[in-house]
Structure 1
Amino acid sequence: MAYPDDLLSDGERVVLHKHPHWKMLLLPYLYLIVVLGLGIWAAILVQDLTWATIAWIILGALALILVIFLFFVPFVRWRTTHFIVTTDRVMAREGVINRTGIDIPLSRISSVRFEHGLIDRIVGCGTLIIESSAQEPLEFDDIPRVEKVHTLLYREVNDNPNDDYSRVDGRQ
């Protein structure tokens, strides 16, 4: 899904658009399997009771509530979280009802680094840490292929023709 062009400034283009890594969904999928398994098991147990229809309705409602809160909400949160690098800025957006976002102009970024542990390396993701002038470092967790994103962002920061350093050495 591409980032909407009408939200970009004139001449700005999207270089990279990512959602968090799929590892963020492992626990919600596990919850989904467990809830469905327990729901089927409980439905089989109550089928011979005299009030089986009422028990099935209660089990179905309980399973629906659990699936919504344990699977659907995290899935929507994952799907509506965006990490975007454009030719002018780095953007992070998340949320459906309470939408939050942050924009960091490339000219304000002073350093970019990444971290990933063993599990992150196995599944191919990590944490991207961006330091900008006069702010604490911003950490973006579960970025897929974080090393490539780090390299791309580093290149964008250093090749940005709008930064103050490029005007000093004569490039425009």
Structure 2
Amino acid sequence: MGYPNDVLTDDEVVVVHQHPHVKALLAPGLALVVATALGGWGLAWSTGDSVSDGVATTVAVAVAVVWLAALVWFVAKLVSWRTTHFVITDRRVMFRQGILTRSGIDIPVLRINSVQFRHGLVDRILRTGTLIIESASDDPLEFEDIPRVEKVHALLYARLDDRLDDEPDRFPKA
């Protein structure tokens, strides 16, 4: 079945299942492109007639090390991005992350006190942001790089409102 369907309870329905915004991959992706371009220029320069074999070898090793570091950073971020899940069901909010060591949190919808979002200019342009959930007993939890954060905020608030409407009156009217 695959995640998140294999961790759902009976009759639980997934409303939102997202990975962080692709913005999280921009810095390592740009670093890989720059390392590739500079590495290509460095290798082309080092094969010139005026460069000794020792210098050419040193440049080639340096280019390889820098390029491999950029590649490892990009691949690590890509795998981390792919293994991070933000899920809203009709009963709870789930957040899972990690590659070798996984961690996660589940927040029952009925335990949520408030839902907020925050995004700056760049986040607004990219349609992403930070979702802040305050539950009954914990400090507020911040989930960064949530795609379409305003829509997710509204959806989560609607789920919370629906669940509260389904509850019997806790305080009967006198």
TM-score (norm 2): 0.84
Distance 1:165 1:11, change over 3 A: closer
Q: 2:68 aligns with which of 33, 58, 64?
A: 64
Distance 1:164 1:121, change over 3 A: closer
Counterpart position of 1:166: 167
The letter of the residue matching 1:32 is: L
Distance 1:66 1:123, change over 3 A: closer
How far the C-alpha of 1:46 sits from its partner, in A, is 2.2
Mind listing any 5+ residue stretches in structure 2 that lack a counterpart? none
Counterpart position of 1:33: 33
Distance 1:122 1:164, change over 3 A: closer
Give, in whole Å, the separation in 2 of the partners of 1:128 and 1:58. Answer: 41
Sequence identity (%): 49
Counterpart position of 1:101: 104
CA deviation profile, 1:35-60 (whole Å, cap 9, x unmatched): 10111112112224436578646633
Distance 1:117 1:61, change over 3 A: closer
Pairs within 5 Å for 1:120-131:
120-131=123-134
Alignment of 1:92 with 2:95, yes or no, is yes
Mind listing any 5+ residue stretches in structure 1 that lack a counterpart? none
Alignment of 1:150 with 2:150, yes or no, is no
The letter of the residue matching 1:31 is: A
The 3-state SS of whatever aligns with 1:9 is coil
The 3-state SS of whatever aligns with 1:36 is helix
RMSD (Å) for aligned C-alpha atoms: 2.2
Pair member with larger Rg:
2
Distance 1:62 1:118, change over 3 A: closer
How far the C-alpha of 1:124 sits from its partner, in A, is 0.6
How far the C-alpha of 1:75 sits from its partner, in A, is 1.6
Counterpart position of 1:74: 77
The letter of the residue matching 2:169 is: V
The 3-state SS of whatever aligns with 1:97 is coil
Give, in whole Å, the separation in 2 of the partners of 1:87 and 1:165. Answer: 12
Give, in whole Å, the separation in 1 of the partners of 2:83 and 2:64. Answer: 28
How far the C-alpha of 1:30 sits from its partner, in A, is 1.1
Counterpart position of 1:19: 19
Give, in whole Å, the separation in 1 of the partners of 2:118 and 2:58. Answer: 52
